[in-house]
Amino acid sequence: MKLKEQFYVVLSAIFIASLITCNLVANKFVTVDLGFKVFIVSAGILPYPLTFLVTDLISELYGQKKANLVVFSGFIASIFVLFFLWLGGQFSSIPSSVVGDSTYDLVFQNAWRIIAASMVAYLFAQFIDVKIFHFWKKLTNGKHLWLRNNGSTIVSQLVDTALVVSILFVGVWDSNQIISAVIDGWLFKMLMAFIDTPIIYGIIHLLKGKIDIAKIEE
């Protein structure tokens, strides 16, 4: 297997692992104090920026079709997780089980709703991210990687955050809480997007001469 194929497999694995982790820990809300602001976000947001970093890398190195393929693969993986979480809850635990039925239900009782909301938002946001990334790549003739990396993420993350929070909390939280959660989640993701820009440049630089950048697609 060539380096380019190996790297694609690694990126795909990171993407799917990050996505599944997001769904499994999304029930817990945490505070992230960055000094200038305290963010109140779902723990699922912490690994989520990795998914956009990976899709942008795949878009840059392998093209739009490969990026869409890994997005679809993540969707299928989420369905598998959702099914087996449900299936695990259909069997009673034994008395000596470390995790009993009540603990299992407490942790995963909202998992189906979170994953369902995440899957809807995920499909919209990830495909938007890939589409905008390639729009900017074509418009700039392959230049200004920082522009397409951040430009695509700004829009797609707003869509993702707004959809997830709305699906999960409309009718549960009041409008002020929902708006606050969307803003905090989006701003935190934006900060992570700005941080990952030099990371993308660094990875592309390290791979220069080893993996060719994908051609601009019509």
Structure tokens at 86: 């449900």
Higher pLDDT, 35 or 70: 70
Reported as a pLDDT band with limits 50, 70 and 90, residue 1 is low
Hey, what domains does the chain have and what are their CATH numbers?
3-206 (1.10.1760)
pLDDT the model gives residue 216: 60
Q: What is the DSSP secondary structure assignment for residue 98, as one 8-state letter?
A: S
How many other C-beta atoms are found inside a 10 Å radius of the C-beta of residue 8? 20
Give per-residue burial for 136-159: e unless 16+ CB within 10 Å, then b: bbeeeeeeebeebbbbbbbebbbb
Of 89-98, 143-152, 194-203, the least confident: 143-152
- Determine the Cα–Cα distance for residues 157 and 194; give it in Å rounded to an integer: 13
Confidence band (pLDDT; 50, 70, 90) for 31? confident
**Per-residue pLDDT tens digits for 157-214:** 888 888 888 877 887 788 888 888 888 888 888 888 788 888 888 888 888 878 877 6
Structural contact between residues 49 and 200, judged by C-beta atoms closer than 8 angstroms: no
Q: Can you give the pLDDT at residue 154?
A: 81
Q: How far is CA 26 from the centre of its chain?
A: 12
Taking 60 as the threshold, does the pLDDT of residue 218 lie above it?
no
Burial 20-59 (b: 16+ CB within 10 A, else e): bbbbbbbbeeeeeeeeeeebebbbbbbbbbbbbbbbbbbb
Q: Are 162 and 182 a contacting pair, CB within 8 Å? A: yes
Residues 108-133 pLDDT 10s: 766 677 777 777 777 777 778 778 87
| Greater model confidence, 5 or 133 | 5
**Considering the entire predicted model, what is its pTM?**
0.78
Tell me how long the chain is.
218
Q: In one letter, which amino acid is 21?
A: T
| Model confidence at 30: pLDDT above 70 | yes
Nearest to 15 by CA among 50, 40, 56: 50
Mean pLDDT of 26-55: 82
Cβ-contact 146, 165 below 8 angstroms: no
Note the pLDDT tens digit of each residue in 6-15: 999 999 999 9
